Structure 1
Amino acid sequence: MEQRIANRLKVVDMGINTHQEPVVYMRDDCHVCKSEGFSAASRVKLTIGKKELVATLNIVEKHVLAEGQVGLSRIAMERLSPAPLEEVEITHPDVVDSLSCVRKKVFGNALSEQELEEIILDISQHRYADIEIASFLSVCAGSRLNEAEIIGLTKAMVKAGKHLEWPEHKRVFDKHCIGGLPGNRTTPLVVSIVSAAGYIMPKSSSRSITSPAGTADTMEVLTRVRLALEDIQRVVKQTGACLTWGGAVNLSPADDLLIRIERALDLDGEGQLIASVLSKKIAIGSTDVLIDIPVGPTAKVRNLDDAQRLVSLFQNVGRACGINVRCIITDGTKPVGRGIGPALEAKDLLAVLQNQQDAPMDLRERALVLSAHLLDMASDCGFEAGLELATAILQRGGAYRQFMRIIDAQGGLKSIPNAHFQYNQATEKRGRIIAIDNRKLAKVAKLAGAPFGIGAGLQLHSNVGDSVVAGNLLFTLYSDSKGELEYALEYVQKNPDIFVIEEN
């Protein structure tokens, strides 16, 4: 009992945002540090009543905290929810045995389904430090996971979270795009069209990993996407669909923890990508999933061989996990739509839904093709009949009305914000645009502040195949700060090959 009392300190909110990694702050002369042998970067366990949390220790100088106090970062405060100056017990955490499995993978050995389950369970329960998650992701990147490991990882990610079921519906539909194309915000359009046709589509989406915006980022510009499980069920019951952020519920809890580190590493490994996508589909109760795989020299998937490998893996993993997966390989040679960034992409998808004359036709056509495939999967009507139905639903306003029903059920439509600063980038050449580097274009939008700056990003005025003369605008850059705008423009100036123009 004396040891437990000696290891108690009064909690102070440091007000420091450490993202999703809990951090604890202790004085360099703290008696707990000395008695337990803690040092900077040690992992420590915090206990208040029945709540436990493992955090990384930072050491601060004496003037930062009073004697007998311990500081917590914002995420640590949220998870422990202590009262002001409530005492917390600080001890060594339990040994994380699954880290030995990570080390096993470092040396090139395959992991069993049980070992993957242990790793994912520990990650989802916040027992891994960020550097340990980064190690796991790195040793699984590329093609380092075999098919059996990807199946095991997918099942482990599903098992670690909750699972929605739709007993009144035999089939539940979903779609996902592998990504790599700036502006390719087809999901809200497809969900609106397919659910307007009478099919169930509870769509849970991720935030951006390596792009300037994810579907959840764009939808959050328009409405509430942080829905509890009971809200998801209510919205789907009312409308037949939803457009939510998966990280707000415990469907695949390890996924968002992994995504946060993937974003920092700018890494999206093959096995992790498949497991991430399919685990969320299974967790939300989907039975039939369409996977869009864009292929292009600067897309996420560079060539047809890699795309065919992904097709095989997606279908085999889906079959092993009990869901039907159809993959389609699409054009990934150029950006889609005009807006790149959450608010700008939101404007594009509304323009398509409202059948505005200036709506981006490439975004519209991609959404119709994807919708046609899903309608064919649902009714075996054939692609052409599916395309005809999808087009009619969009042109006659059915998709927009359905979209607004979903928006209203999720909390209503928000006004779209505008960025504070902008810059028009023109060309000095005369000729035809023969290529755009998708990765570099996306980086420009991210350097301008997207996706965290909602209005940040860029709007395309010219795309591949367009003829231009000197003075024609290529894009307008938007940012919420002059510093980010200048940072992005500096990158543009150092990378003149973002737009490749064949001069006349």
Structure 2
Amino acid sequence: MHNHKTLKIKNLGIDTYRENIIYMRSDCDVCLSEGFTALTRVVVHFDNESIIATLNVVYNELLKHGEAGLSIMAAQRLGVSDGDAIIVSHLQPIASIGLIRSKMYGNELKETELNQIIYDISTGQYSNIELAAFITATSGNHLSINEIKGLTRAMVRSGKNLEWDNQSIFDKHCIGGLPGNRTTPIVISIVAAAGLTIPKTSSRAITSPAGTADTMEVMTNVELTMEQMKEVVSRENGCLVWGGSVSLSPADDVLISVEKALDIDSEGQMIASVLSKKKAAGATHVVIDIPVGSTAKVRTKENANKLISHFEEVADAVGLQIKCLVTDGSQPVGRGIGPALEAMDVLSVLRNENNAPEDLKQRALLLAGELLEFSENVEKGKGISKAIKILEGGSAYTKFISICEAQGRFTEPEFAAFSLDILAEQSGIINEIDCRKLAKVAKLSGAPKSPKAGVLLHSHLGKQVINGDVLFTIYAEAQGELNYALGYYKIQNNIIRIK
């Protein structure tokens, strides 16, 4: 750092999500002497901390001479506040970017090279453009099985790893792609009530209208520290927290935020993402739900089998015992699509209400039964009946409320203020539901950012409907978003097909 001229921080209050941005005047001494231009990547130093940020140049009086601004997240990461003095210097070239170029030309990456890339990503050295390049270069089927193993291990190394006193730690994961498939809170409640240890870290939505963490956040606090998480698990055998808050696979959280923007969910990255988080969370036994359907994430049985063999091989390489289940992915599960609406379904099943969605209940029982059989306490073939006893006897609901309260609160989910019924335009039998397009309607209504927004589905495959029946209801927290979702629905053909 040959230029030690300091700049004083001015709080501009600009949110740039995860990307570190620094704002400097075009005629600022540092910009002029260092030759910085817009989008230059620079190192920002404060005390003994430093971050890498992208420069945005200001051409008006937003900043005075000698001042610089940082985006909200950048200021938090660096630990600076208004008036603090920072130093800005050049960023040395990042060597691992060359490895991504090599991958683009079809070369296989060694584990040491993947370690380097993932280390640079988790320490914030890549801009969003460089992250997008990595994701694109490794999407589709561009990762070999050895690369997936290397990527998984690199991602486990990139963050903290949890350790538990018990020998067997259970976990479950659904690869997603099926709206409303919110089995996790039910499964965790059953398994924890059975006395098994199941510390669940869940993700927020990547390309869907809700992730488990989004749904749970409607009812309880999900951003717990590692110490708080351990405290909840020691009291209740289980927890339902957002994985990002406990830094289990920090590189994965960064990659997910860019995958979300690109609407990409690549198979190799998905396997590495899922298994690295399970391994980092200290799991030993994992059940993986793979829904298969024409509009689900996995379209065919052949694709599912290939995915299972990859999952099994990578799990073996990182020392996890897994069991993969292929489930029906032909239509949404439950009624709600969106955080609060899915929370209502979960509670309805846990409370054993008469009108609880039966498909969600049966799927949760199947997964819970498999997990119970994975332990040595329940013999083969007896898992589901044990799960039914725990659920229908009420102890799963009691356990769920205890977990929520241990995490800080239990809040009842509510409907959004605005809603609109979508009606059948003919009579007949529902014979097809486009999961992707229905999920898109829920996203356009505001989910998951607006937790109460989404879609409430009144019709499943095989249902007889009459012209004018309500097929589904769109919920939104603003009239504009309701109109937005409706506009999309109107230009789509047959999201729900009636014959």
Distance in 2 (CA, whole Å) between partners of 1:37 and 1:479 is: 48
What letter corresponds to residue 257 of structure 1 in structure 2?
V
Of 222, 225, 228, 1:225 maps to 222
Task: Tell me if the contact between 2:345 and 2:357 (Cα under 8 Å) persists in the aligned partners.
Answer: yes
Alignment counterpart, residue 299 of structure 2, candidates 294, 298, 302: 302
Distance 1:273 1:413 in 2: 31
The superposition leaves residues 419-449 of structure 1 with CA deviations (integer Å, 9 ceiling, x where unpaired) of 1211111111100000100000000000000
Deviations 1:132-157 (A, max 9, x none): 11110111111110111001000000
**Alpha-carbon distance in structure 2 between the residues aligned to 1:63 and 1:230:** 45
Asked if 1:129 corresponds to 2:127, the answer is yes
Query: Which amino acid in the other structure matches residue 40 of structure 2?
Result: S
Kept in 2: contact 1:372–1:383 (CA 8 A): no
Equivalent residue number for residue 79 of structure 2 = 81
2-structure distance, mates of 1:88, 1:129? 21
Which amino acid is the alignment partner of residue 163 of structure 2? E
Equivalent residue in structure 2 for 1:459, among 456, 460, 464: 456
Q: Which residue of 2 aligns with 1:165?
A: 163
The amino acid that maps onto 2:81 is: A
Q: 1:199 aligns with which of 196, 200, 203?
A: 196
Q: Distance in 1 between matches of 2:366 and 2:358?
A: 12
Partner-residue secondary structure (3-state), 1:13: coil
Question: Which residue number corresponds to residue 150 of structure 2?
Answer: 152
Aligned counterpart, 1:393: 390
- Count matched residues: 499
Q: Give the match's secondary structure for 1:75.
A: helix
Alpha-carbon distance between aligned partners in 1 of 2:465 and 2:393, rounded to the nearest angstrom: 35
Structure 1 residue 382 displacement after superposition: 5.0
Q: Distance in 1 between matches of 2:193 and 2:272?
A: 29
Partner of 1:174: 171
Query: 1:267-346 counterparts in 2 under 5 A?
Result: 267-346=264-343
CA deviation vs aligned residue, 1:52-97 (integer Å, no higher than 9, x gap): 0101111111322111111111111111121321111000123211
Letter of the 1:319 partner, please give it: D
CA RMSD of aligned residues (A): 1.1
Task: Please give the secondary structure, in 2, of the residue aligned with 1:384.
Answer: coil
Secondary structure, counterpart of 1:320 in structure 2 = helix
Query: Would you say 1:373 and 2:373 are equivalent positions?
Result: no
Partner of 1:107: 105
**Which residue number corresponds to residue 5 of structure 1?**
4
> Contact 2:199/2:238 (CA < 8 Å) preserved in 1?
yes
Instruction: For 2:349 and 2:180, locate their aligned partners in 1 and report how far apart those are by CA, in whole Å.
Output: 13
Shift of 1:258: 0.6
1:185 paired with 2:182, answer yes
Residue 4 of structure 1 and its aligned partner are, at CA, apart by 3.5
Of residues 43, 55, 58, the one that matches 2:56 is: 58
For the residues of structure 1 that align with 2:25 and 2:103, how far apart are their CA atoms? Answer: 37
- Which residue does the alignment assign to 1:143? 141
What is the TM-score normalised by the length of structure 2? Answer: 0.98
State how far apart, in whole Å, the 2-side matches of 1:384 and 1:430 are: 42
**In the alignment, which residue of structure 2 is the partner of 1:434?**
431
Q: In 2, are the aligned partners of 1:460 and 1:474 still within 8 Å (CA)?
A: yes
Unpaired runs of at least 5, structure 1: none
CA shift digits 1:235-269 (9 cap, x unpaired):
11001001000000121111111110011000010
Amino acid across the alignment from 1:49: D
Report the Cα distance in structure 1 between the residues aligned to 2:195 and 2:230, rounded to whole angstroms: 16
- The amino acid that maps onto 1:415 is E
- Partners of 1:5 and 1:118 in 2: how far apart? 30
CA distance, structure 2, for counterparts of residue 495 and residue 462 of structure 1: 18
Q: Secondary structure at the match of 1:5?
A: coil
- Matched residue, 2:358: 361
Q: Tell me the secondary structure at the aligned position of residue 76 of structure 2.
A: helix
